Structure 1
Amino acid sequence: MAKLNAPFRYDIVGSFLRPQAIHDARAKHAAGEISFEQLHEVEDTEVSKIIEKQKAVGLHAVTDGEFRRRWWHLDWLAGFNGIKVYDFKTADFGIEKVMQGTYVDSPISFDPNHPFLDGFRRTQKLAGDTPVKQTIAGPNMVTLSSVVLSQQYAANPVYANLDELRHDLAKTYQDAIRAFYNAGCRYLQLDDTSWGALFSERRRDRIVACGYDPDELIDVFGDITEEALEGRPEDMVITTHMCKGNFMSHWLYEGTYETIARRLLGIRGFDGFFLEYDDERSGSFEPLRHLPADTDQRVVLGLVTTKTAELEDPDAIRARIDEAAKIVPLERLCLSPQCGFASTEEGNSIAEQVQWDKLRLVREVAESVWDDADEA
């Protein structure tokens, strides 16, 4: 099988608004009214529907909508050996909410029976001949939330230093990548919003208060990611996505990419970078100058927001693409929404139809900009 031409000129980050049937089934399962197998059956039915809708809108690769998970990141991390999950109350996103967090409580490793592997196989079967894009949380979601900012970890550290953590964490992701590859996955995306904490002043202050240097962590994050990608299959597309938080139409981080751009964009193991550019918090395209000129890596411009219902002006999007093309050649650019439509099961504050209107807009603009937009 030839390597996919991904990221595609018009692409998606991954998640979709959960249908009511998913919410109902999860509630019934939590109440003990249906079995885990019955929940899976409902998930498969709804995943099949969302796949057909993605095909109808013309996507070259489809996702499961992240229907099989509650959180975009935690369900993935909770499946690792060495990760502990706990509940906590936060107002970080501007709304008070009980959420879940993680911390490292023993050496980290990949569980070959991770439920996401079975979920991928089920989705692949439902998708038929259409490639399936698998999304998972990136390694530094562990570094930041489960170690650096974790009071539980600080009280009972597992590793002598971050170098020790790096080797186990990287090996965990190497094993995960190989497991997905063996399951048939050829398009994998590492979602890693943790990078945003390294340029957001409020988060940098918290990092310092926890005894770490945010500037040093930029290299730590880069080193962990590069080691995690070592030995990656050549015919597998691996991308990364980072936004500045996306929870019920609220955001978490602010600041430009300049602080992290040289290190993040210098990671050659990625085939593409999905970056948020849907409002003024993203800053200019100037940091994209750090993308190495001697690679064919692509930057996917997240110019269409998933946080609000208003449909963007196609001409305004084209103008922004032209602006970005002054920094990065047009042939190395793509277009997508800035994030998914439902990073958590609650979803963003938009109607279901809006997500399809947004994706049709992304496709129409892409087809008007790139001659090869319809090439899979």
Structure 2
Amino acid sequence: MSKSLQAPFRYDVVGSLKRSQALKDAEAKLFARKLAIADFADIQRAETKKIVQKQASLGFHAVTDGEFNRSWWHLDFLWGLGGTERYDYQQSYKFKDSKTRTDNVRLAGKIHYNPTHPFFTSFKYFNSVTPDGVLAKQTIPSPTLLFRDNRSDNWSKFYDSWDEYLTDVAKAYHETIQHFYDLGCRYLQQDDTTWAFLISKLNATKDQPDEHAKYVKLCEDAVKLINQELKGLPADLTITTHICRGNFKSTYLFSGSYDVIAKYLGQLNYDGFFLEYDNKRSGGFEPLKDIYNGRPNIRIVLGLITSKFPELENPDDVKARIKEASQYVPLDKLALSTQCGFASTEEGNKVTEDQQWKKLELVRDIARDVWGDAD
């Protein structure tokens, strides 16, 4: 890999990829008790290796494991933290025109680092099959996911103060990320739907001062929590975030411009921001100026190619949007990706594997045309 290349790269992969048919078949046999756990693990590893090799063959400088080691983009990781437990939420997440399963996570004690988190074993294998000169990009949910959906409603059962709880969450995440680094990880991304949730809440409560203040406080707490977990991590570890608006069977959860949260994103000590911009629900590019905030060492990755539908975007239209965005952030500080992954849950979006690869090829080809240093 050229020393001039910088993560996040000019063309990058957000995270999840469509589960292969072999993996789906193996999982069905596992749940039907027709396949041993060890045999399922062998198939999962083999399919992960294939997905890594495919991304690398397309020229991507960072690859993901497709999130083949999990059922949900967020819950499997959160279940692996110390002090959490799995439970039945008894209601699905409110995606437009679609219902999810009712799994959730909640506090069962004080949050702490788990040295045997199953993602560590998965990463060791993933990193071992990633080709030389390519980065193994680890994705995990943001710690802000422990703010919402009843996951920390009982915090006072275990903590004397909310700040004490946030401190433990930050510490557990910091130690977890440090261990990924010790295992060889040099590129990690925190996926975050909480900011999109806050966009919707800030807009909905703008005429309700007391309610609005509650969500402003959550924005401030999110900045505090994230920056606290990131403080003191190795300088050669690139950490980005993906601001997600929900992704389940090609549907979504949240809408609204980034303008109401831009100043908070501009305070986060990430190295890059993957931002959804595949349709009008995301608003215009003006907030990019505040998100970028003049910082010379970050890169904003524009999610202009949708992962939700198979139709390929017109390259000229995408290039025109990149040019428009460059009015607010220097072109040198921009990059391109799909707006989200292709299978944030094991069900996946309404695209085929072949259509998924064509989308990623489009991202690559446009980036190569726009930026001379894409490769």
Same fold (TM over 0.5): yes
**2-structure distance, mates of 1:211, 1:257:** 16
- In structure 2, the residue matched to 1:172 is 172
- In structure 2, the residue matched to 1:273 is 273
| Structure 1 residue 127 corresponds to structure 2 residue 157 | no
Please report how far the alpha carbon of residue 203 of structure 1 lies from its aligned counterpart in structure 2 after TM superposition.
Answer: 9.4
Residues 327 and 117 from structure 1, CA distance in 2 versus in 1: closer, same or farther, beyond 3 angstroms? same
Please report how far the alpha carbon of residue 104 of structure 1 lies from its aligned counterpart in structure 2 after TM superposition.
Answer: 1.4
Q: 2:186, 2:237 within 8 Å by CA — same for their partners in 1?
A: yes
- In structure 2, the residue matched to 1:118 is 121
Please report how far the alpha carbon of residue 210 of structure 1 lies from its aligned counterpart in structure 2 after TM superposition.
Answer: 9.8
- Give the stretch that moved more between structures: 166-175 or 92-101: 92-101
Matches within 5 A, 1:1-376: 5-87=6-88, 88-90=90-92, 92-93=94-95, 94-129=97-132, 130-147=134-151, 150=153, 153=154, 157-201=157-201, 213-268=214-269, 270-290=270-290, 291-374=292-375
SS in 2 for 1:226: helix
**2-structure distance, mates of 1:210, 1:34:** 51
Runs of 5+ consecutive residues of structure 1 not aligned to the other structure: none
What one-letter code is carried by the residue in structure 2 that aligns with 1:118? T
Please report how far the alpha carbon of residue 91 of structure 1 lies from its aligned counterpart in structure 2 after TM superposition.
Answer: 5.6
What one-letter code is carried by the residue in structure 1 that aligns with 2:113? F
**2-structure distance, mates of 1:202, 1:101:** 25
Q: 2:202, 2:212 within 8 Å by CA — same for their partners in 1?
A: no
**2-structure distance, mates of 1:323, 1:245:** 25
**2-structure distance, mates of 1:328, 1:147:** 36
Residues 70 and 210 from structure 1, CA distance in 2 versus in 1: closer, same or farther, beyond 3 angstroms? farther
Q: 1:81, 1:107 within 8 Å by CA — same for their partners in 2?
A: yes
SS in 2 for 1:323: helix
Q: 1:103, 1:145 within 8 Å by CA — same for their partners in 2?
A: no
**2-structure distance, mates of 1:286, 1:256:** 9
**1-structure distance, mates of 2:15, 2:243:** 12
**2-structure distance, mates of 1:48, 1:100:** 28
Please report how far the alpha carbon of residue 147 of structure 1 lies from its aligned counterpart in structure 2 after TM superposition.
Answer: 4.1
Residues 55 and 334 from structure 1, CA distance in 2 versus in 1: closer, same or farther, beyond 3 angstroms? same
Please report how far the alpha carbon of residue 168 of structure 1 lies from its aligned counterpart in structure 2 after TM superposition.
Answer: 0.1
TM-score w.r.t. length of structure 2: 0.93
Please report how far the alpha carbon of residue 146 of structure 1 lies from its aligned counterpart in structure 2 after TM superposition.
Answer: 4.7
Q: 1:198, 1:204 within 8 Å by CA — same for their partners in 2?
A: no
Q: 2:26, 2:43 within 8 Å by CA — same for their partners in 1?
A: yes
Residues 128 and 366 from structure 1, CA distance in 2 versus in 1: closer, same or farther, beyond 3 angstroms? closer
**1-structure distance, mates of 2:204, 2:353:** 36
**Shift >4 Å, 4+ stretches:** 1-4, 202-205, 208-212
SS in 2 for 1:132: strand
Q: 2:93, 2:102 within 8 Å by CA — same for their partners in 1?
A: no
Please report how far the alpha carbon of residue 3 of structure 1 lies from its aligned counterpart in structure 2 after TM superposition.
Answer: 9.9
What one-letter code is carried by the residue in structure 2 that aligns with 1:355? Q
Deviations 1:130-156 (A, max 9, x none): 3200000110011223546x4xx37x6
Q: 1:301, 1:333 within 8 Å by CA — same for their partners in 2?
A: yes
Runs of 5+ consecutive residues of structure 2 not aligned to the other structure: none
Q: 1:3, 1:236 within 8 Å by CA — same for their partners in 2?
A: no
**2-structure distance, mates of 1:76, 1:335:** 27
Identical-pair percentage: 44
Residues 202 and 29 from structure 1, CA distance in 2 versus in 1: closer, same or farther, beyond 3 angstroms? farther
Deviations 1:228-265 (A, max 9, x none): 10111101111111111001100001111111111112
**2-structure distance, mates of 1:141, 1:95:** 21
- Give the stretch that moved more between structures: 21-30 or 293-302: 21-30
TM-score w.r.t. length of structure 1: 0.93
Residues 204 and 158 from structure 1, CA distance in 2 versus in 1: closer, same or farther, beyond 3 angstroms? farther
RMSD: 2.2
What one-letter code is carried by the residue in structure 1 that aligns with 2:359? K
**2-structure distance, mates of 1:231, 1:344:** 32
Deviations 1:156-213 (A, max 9, x none): 64323321111000001110111000000001001111111111149966xx999981
- Give the stretch that moved more between structures: 288-297 or 44-53: 288-297
Deviations 1:79-119 (A, max 9, x none): 01111212233260122332311111210011011010110
